[in-house]
């Protein structure tokens, strides 16, 4: 239960942060809030880059891309193990 609560809480925090901070930089708060809730780290990184906080932004973008690559690799390995019957991998 703790993991599901945490995974739901982080997108909400990111969405609220983006929605509150966006008008300060002339950005649409609804757009950034929704993107932040749906995709979490990637829009946060892009937003930080666009608002001249480039170091933090690039860190979030890199973490997001690495997590996507890791997820795709994990799914590929899982499919390979399941399709081979679990033997020899």
11 in Cβ contact with 36 (< 8 Å): yes
Q: Which of 80, 76, 48 has the alpha carbon at shortest distance from 63?
A: 48
Give the count of domains, the chain.
1
- Lowest-pLDDT range of 3-7, 11-15, 84-88: 84-88
Residue 23 DSSP class:
G
Q: Tens of pLDDT along 56-85? A: 999 999 999 999 999 999 999 999 999 987
Does residue 88 belong to any structural domain of this protein?
Answer: no
pTM for this prediction: 0.81
Confidence of residue 89 (pLDDT cuts 50, 70, 90): low
Q: Which two tokens stand for residue 88?
A: 């020899």
Does residue 89 belong to any structural domain of this protein?
Answer: no
11 in Cβ contact with 18 (< 8 Å): no
Does residue 56 belong to any structural domain of this protein?
Answer: yes
Could you give the CA distance from residue 87 to residue 45 in angstroms, rounded to a whole number? 41
């Amino acid at each position: 239960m703790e993991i599901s609560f945490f995974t739901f809480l982080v997108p909400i925090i990111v969405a609220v942060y983006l929605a509150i901070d966006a008008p300060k930089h002339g950005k649409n708060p609804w757009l950034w809030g929704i993107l932040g809730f749906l995709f979490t780290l990637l829009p946060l990184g892009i937003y930080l880059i666009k608002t001249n906080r480039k170091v933090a932004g690039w860190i979030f973008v890199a973490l997001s891309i690495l997590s996507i690559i890791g997820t795709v690799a994990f799914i590929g390995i899982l499919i390979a193990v399941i399709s081979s019957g679990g033997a020899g991998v």
